[in-house]
């Protein structure tokens, strides 16, 4: 019977190969087109000035018209109503100040800005006097700069959609073939095992009887590995990710009420992380991911990957890990120095980029 089953597999394998061959050809052609688009994108990026080069050699770029691309991180408040300043961070994480006489851009959005470089005599740092600005996420542009680059990027995204469709079809076909082969393999194994089970004596194991384990509590021990309780809920969207423990499992320390910058969430509860049984409990905050209960992931681009840390020892303190040149943690609007620890009280507002959180030592 096994030989007959093997003979039946051969036509299935041949049909699978014939099905996958044209799909693989389409995928290779689409990959070639995607590589050409990536090369064009890299060429466009090379024509854009790096902020680091301007910061390192401001005298060489003074009065020279440059072009930078990046995300707007924050505004700089000035007494002059006709002149405004904002900061833009490029893809390498470097930040430069931009002077504009028009409307301020939106924090968190990506723009292309061009204009001459000037040097601030008070801060002795370079800044760009904005002559034109274009939002790279599809919004309207200001100034005299054209939107050919955005049109090309939009066209590239549209062209790439067909490649994604072919790749999806290829993956579906591969998955279907794999499932068919696995189902056939399981059927063959069951056919081979069934006579052996029926031929055994009365005291032997049946096909449905699992073999005994050397330690009946092994799986229970493995499930309690000391990493804390399984989250009762994982709250995750485009702006935040946090883990909520089951009731009465971890000690409640307080909460962070969302004032601005996060969607679909009103409050972030704070619990003592597992294993931190001493006097101090530490919870980190940033854009990067981290372990459950020990880290709060804030996803807006204006938040640093390692933004701050909360230390709770009866009172609560916040330690800032973001430099002043980017987006430092602020307590009630006042920036906190790098690696500085500041005590916070009930009602104090923490600002991290575009996110604002009000600390509470108990749920309201």
Contact (CB, 8 A) for 333 and 340: no
Give how many domains the chain has, as a whole number. 2
Q: Is residue 196 part of a domain?
A: no
How far is Cα 280 from Cα 293, in angstroms, rounded to an integer? 14
Are residues 240 and 344 both part of a single domain?
yes
More confident position, 208 or 292 = 292
Q: Is residue 97 part of a domain?
A: yes
CATH number where 318 lies: 2.60.200.20
Range of the domain at 343: 231-360
- Is the pLDDT at 353 greater than 80? The verdict is yes
Domain end (from 84, 114, 146):
146
User: Which tens digit of pLDDT belongs to each residue from 61-119?
Assistant: 999 999 999 999 998 877 667 788 999 999 999 999 999 998 899 999 999 999 999 99
Are residues 142 and 247 both part of a single domain?
no
- Is the pLDDT at 202 greater than 60? The verdict is no
Q: 220: which residues sit within 8 A by CB, 6+ positions away?
A: none
Are residues 121 and 236 both part of a single domain?
no
Q: Is residue 193 part of a domain?
A: no
Residue 123: pLDDT band (50, 70, 90) is confident
How far is Cα 198 from Cα 53, in angstroms, rounded to an integer? 78
Are residues 238 and 139 both part of a single domain?
no
Q: 37: which residues sit within 8 A by CB, 6+ positions away?
A: 156, 159, 160
Q: What percent of the chain has pLDDT over 90?
A: 41
Are residues 254 and 350 both part of a single domain?
yes
Domain end (from 89, 113, 146):
146
Are residues 136 and 241 both part of a single domain?
no
Supply the DSSP symbol for 82. S
Total number of residues shown for the chain: 364
Q: Is residue 217 part of a domain?
A: no
- Is the pLDDT at 144 greater than 90? The verdict is no
Q: What is the mean pLDDT of the chain?
A: 78
Domain end (from 146, 169, 203):
146
Q: Is residue 283 part of a domain?
A: yes
Are residues 354 and 237 both part of a single domain?
yes
Residue 24: pLDDT band (50, 70, 90) is low
How far is Cα 245 from Cα 250, in angstroms, rounded to an integer? 7
Q: Is residue 174 part of a domain?
A: no
How far is Cα 88 from Cα 95, in angstroms, rounded to an integer? 6
CATH number where 58 lies: 2.40.50.140
- Give the model's pLDDT for residue 157: 44
List 281's β-bridge partners, or say none. Answer: 312
- Give the model's pLDDT for residue 277: 76
Q: Is residue 258 part of a domain?
A: yes
- Nearest CA among 131, 54, 130 for reference residue 98: 130
Identify the weakest region by mean pLDDT among 135-149, 231-245, 344-358. Answer: 135-149
- Is the pLDDT at 187 greater than 90? The verdict is no
Q: Is residue 190 part of a domain?
A: no
């Amino acid at each position: 019977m096994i030989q007959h089953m093997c003979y039946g597999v051969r036509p299935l394998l041949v049909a699978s190969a014939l099905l996958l061959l044209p799909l693989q050809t389409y995928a290779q052609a689409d990959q070639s087109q995607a590589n050409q688009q990536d090369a064009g994108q890299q060429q466009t990026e090379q024509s854009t000035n790096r902020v680091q080069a301007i910061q390192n050699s401001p005298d060489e770029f003074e009065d020279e018209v440059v072009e930078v691309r990046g995300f707007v991180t924050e505004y700089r408040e000035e007494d002059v109503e006709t002149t405004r300043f904002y900061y833009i961070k490029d893809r390498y994480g470097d930040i430069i100040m931009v002077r504009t006489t028009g409307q301020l851009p939106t924090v968190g959005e990506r723009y292309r800005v061009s204009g001459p470089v000037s040097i601030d005599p008070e801060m002795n740092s370079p800044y760009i006097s904005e002559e034109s600005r274009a939002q790279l996420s599809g919004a309207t542009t200001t100034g005299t700069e054209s939107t050919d680059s955005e049109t090309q990027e939009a066209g590239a995204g549209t062209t790439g959609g067909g490649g994604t469709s072919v790749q999806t079809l290829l993956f579906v076909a591969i998955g279907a073939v794999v499932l068919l082969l696995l189902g056939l393999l399981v059927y063959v194994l069951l056919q081979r095992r069934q006579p052996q089970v029926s031929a055994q004596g009365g005291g032997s194991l049946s096909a449905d009887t699992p073999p005994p384990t050397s330690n009946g509590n092994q799986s229970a021990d493995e499930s309690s590995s000391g990493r804390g309780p399984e989250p009762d809920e994982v709250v995750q969207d485009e702006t935040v990710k946090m883990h909520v423990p089951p009731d009465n499992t971890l000690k409640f320390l307080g909460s962070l009420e969302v004032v601005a910058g996060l969607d679909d969430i009103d409050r972030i509860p704070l619990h003592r992380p597992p294993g931190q049984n001493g006097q101090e409990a530490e919870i980190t905050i940033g854009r990067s991911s981290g372990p459950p209960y020990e880290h709060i992931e804030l996803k807006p681009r204006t938040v640093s990957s390692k933004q701050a840390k909360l230390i709770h020892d009866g009172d609560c303190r916040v330690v800032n890990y973001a430099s002043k040149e980017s987006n430092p943690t602020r307590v009630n609007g006042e920036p906190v120095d790098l690696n500085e620890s500041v005590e916070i009280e009930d009602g104090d507002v923490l600002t991290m980029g575009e996110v604002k959180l009000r600390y509470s030592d108990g749920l309201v």
